[in-house]
Every structure is written in C-alpha cells, then in structure tokens.
Amino acid sequence: MTVLSARELWESLLPEEGRAGGAARITVGVLVVALVMLAFRMPFLSIGPYLVFLVSQRDMPMTRAAAGLGVAVAALSSFLLYLAAWGVWDEGWLRVFFWGCVFYAGYFCMVACKEPRVFLGPLVIVALFTFLFDEVPDPNRVLGGIGWLWAILGLVVTVTFALQWLMGHPGGKEFLRGRLRAVLTREEKGWRDLFFRGVATFGGEDEEGLRRVEILEKSGVLTEKNAAVCGAVFSACGEEDFLEAKSEEDRKAALRVARKVREFRVFEVLGRGQTAGEEDGVRLEGVSPEVVARASKVVSALGGEGERGKKEEGFFAGDFWRNPFYPAFAFCATGATLGCYLFMTMVDWTGIHTCMITCAVTAIADAKVRKRKQMLRLAGAFLGGVLGIGMVVFLIPVFDSLAAYLFFLGAGTFLAAWVSLGSEKISYAGWQIALAFYMTVMQDPHPSTKIEVIWDRWVGIFLGILAMGFALKFCGEFFSGREGEEGEERQEKGRVEG
C-alpha cells in the first residue's frame, strides 16, 4: 500500500518500548548541538540538528555503524567536491559533464549494490553543493564549507555517543528482543482478529529487524542458529497478507496459531523457560488453503525450521555487469537530476536546489517503495514546514528569549523524533518533519521571520518528484521495449539455429 490508512497511521504512532527514551535522547542531542553551533556561529545551522537524527540509531551497534557510514560518506563526498573544484571550476560545460558522470556512477551503484546508502550519502552532499559552484566566486569557499561539514559531523558524533553513555542506550541484543516482541505481538493480534472478527490484515516486512539480525550475526553477538530463527520469524511474520475465515475450522486454527505465537513470544523471547503440555505443531485439517499457507510458514519459523529472508552475498549483485536495467536506470535518473539542475539554473532560482536532492533520495527501482518514500517526503516536509511557520509567525515574536526558543525547538524535535522512531511505514516522514522544521526556524544564528525558505523547499521537492517520476517512467518503457526487441531477436535466432 502506498498510502497509509487511518488505522495504520494511528498504530504506527502508538507508544512502544524504548520509544520515549529514544525521542528524549535525540531531543537533548539536538539542543546541545544547536547551542554549540549558535555559540560559535557555525554555518549550516539546520544541518547539524538533522544529522543527530541520522546518527542516533535505536541501539548501540547501529549507532556505531551509522557514525562509521557518516565518516565514509563525508570522505567520498569531500574527494568528489575537491576534484570538481580543482579540475572543472572554470569550465561550465566540463563541470556539467563531471556532475553527470558522478550522478550516473552513483545511481548505477545504488541500484546494483546491496547497501545503496553508501552511495546515496555522497550524491545528496554533491547535489547540495552543486549550485554553489555557480554562485561562489572562489573555490576555497566551497572547500571551507566542506571543512565545516566535517566539524559538524564530529560534533554530532561526539554529542550522540556522550548522551548514549550518560542516558543509557539498549545493546543490539536487547533491541532485537524488543523488535521480536513487537512483531510477534502484531502477528498474534492478526490471528486473534481472524478468530473473533473473521477477517485479519497482517503487517508488512520489518526490514530494520532483518538488518539487525544480519549485523549481529556478523559481529558475533548472535549464533548462526539464533540468527536463522530470528530471520525466519521476521520473514514469516512480515509478509503483508489479508485472510478471511471461511469456516469454523479456520477460526479454530487461527486461535491455535495465536496461542502458538504467544507461547513463543512469552517463553522464548522473554526467556521464561519452556511451556509444558502444549503441542509442538498446529492442527490444520479442514482449513482453507490461504490460512494453511500462512499458518504453516509462521509455525515452521517459530519451531526453527522456517526459511529466513533472502540473504544476498557480496556487496554488488551477481549480474552487476550483465543486467541492462542498471545502466538504463542510472541514465534516466541522471537525466532527471541534471534536468532539475538546468531548470534551476535557467530560471535563476537556486532556492529550489532541493529538487536535485529529491531526485537522489527517491531514485529507487521498486515503484511501490519509491512512491511511498515520495509521499512520506512530501507529507513530512509539509508538516514540518507548517510547524516551523507557526513557531516563526506566532511564537518567536512573542517569546523573545533563548530559553523559550530552545523550549519550542525541543518540542518540535521531540514530535519529529517520535515519528522517526516509528515503523518503517512512517519513520522517514519524521526525518523530513525535522529537516523542514529546522530549515524554517534555524536559518540564522539569531531569530528569523523569513518563511520563503520552506516555500522553496516545497517547490523543490514537488519538482524533483515530477522529474524522477517522468524519467523512470520513460526508463521503464524504454527498457521494456528493448527487452521485447532483444527477446524477439533471440527467439528468431533460436529458430534459425534450430
């Protein structure tokens, strides 16, 4: 589903274990970073607090991984920007060609590798700095901005680790246990709905849980057997499904599965020992095939016999050099990004440079995932902008003090952090709420009442979504046509050779 229903949205916003503590840690981290940046009058005032959201993950292993990824992204971005400042500064046409090569290589690697965020980060930073090469007369100022980004990243990582040490932070195993409890609770609720109401909707895939399992297995925290069981549970319980009880046997089977899920959740995940007197399997005689299919998969996963999620080997896909979709996708995504850049330059409206960043972050081959991310980006930017406008127009002029400013900044941050710590269906919207809010209320090292920056962001996001949608639609039609022509050629060649 691309658009969330009201019930799904409400369930995603409900309190969960550790959610309030995580939101509080992010809020305190943002306030500390904002105070330091205001005290030293550092540039990119809205970027520092936003980086706190990116670095502050839900458990300690992922926070360390995010910090390491941030350093790698900053290093690669610095190299690309330094190369551009050194080699193509004075030649406009050569600079556009250089940007095209960078974006093409980045998009190609994003769609062909297992971890696209390694290449997404540099593309976002390059897109952020691209328009500066047309406005700043001296390349040293661009390089100075890169240096400030390194300083801000160091500040954010230091503050985040210090707060996690002072305020406490769950380890990888504790967080995974809580994630398993949440997934199994949702699965149990679905089976009980099927028993009581006759219909049930089961939740979507928990990608974050699967990533945690893989990371903890590689780091030696989980044994191979435990990782296999956890991965199988996340895969089985994460499939989106809609079931309807067609007979009384379906209802009885649903209740038996619900008890089995609860048994595993209480006695295995919480570590309270084994149950006594319960059967190992679930009787499924006379049950409809749809219910049998999901029940068998879930029960097998709980018994340690299920299949875990697809585990890709290697950093790049096996058909890295052979699949013609990768270069076609990279070509169309690059065309959309450079199209936004040329439009922005021709109309002399650099405030909408978010259109290039939007192209980068929504360059996803899966149309369903891409549309969901675009909707979350739009909704988050709109809500965060409205929240920021309300603070700029109604609160800052009345409460003209640092204490009041920090209080309202903390309130907006806590709201955004609460959303970002929700399920995969809404977490990205929380990041966008935070960024739009900071861009509106943290424009300068002093209170500002300008609101055109958020208008420019809204226009840029909308333009980027349109450009990427049009380009990838063209890419799909082009690729389908090419595939059809090549298929016909192969068939004709086979007939001749036969």
What whole-number distance in Å separates Cα of residue 226 and Cα of residue 267? Answer: 15
Beta carbons of 80 and 70 less than 8 angstroms apart: no
What whole-number distance in Å separates Cα of residue 87 and Cα of residue 39? Answer: 36
pLDDT tens sequence across 427-463:
999 999 999 999 999 987 776 777 888 999 999 999 9
Q: What is the pLDDT of residue 373?
A: 92
CA distance between the termini of the chain: 46
Question: Within 13 A of 220's CA, how many CA atoms are on the CB side?
Answer: 0
Question: Quick one: angle between helices 47-55 and 139-167, nearest 10?
Answer: 50
Is pLDDT above 80 for 215? no
Q: What is the pLDDT of residue 209?
A: 77
Is pLDDT above 60 for 313? no
Q: What is the pLDDT of residue 277?
A: 36
pLDDT tens sequence across 109-119:
998 887 788 89
Q: Reduce the DSSP state of residue 488 to 3 states and report it.
A: helix
- Of 49-58, 170-179, 256-265, 403-412, which gets the smallest average pLDDT? 170-179
- Over residues 17-22, mean pLDDT: 84
Percent of the chain with pLDDT over 70: 88
Q: What is the pLDDT of residue 483?
A: 39
Is pLDDT above 80 for 495? no
Q: What is the pTM of this model?
A: 0.82
pLDDT tens sequence across 351-370:
999 999 999 999 988 888 88
Is pLDDT above 60 for 490? no
pLDDT tens sequence across 75-86:
999 999 999 988
Q: Which residues have C-beta within 8 Å of that of residue 162, sequence separation ≥ 6? A: none
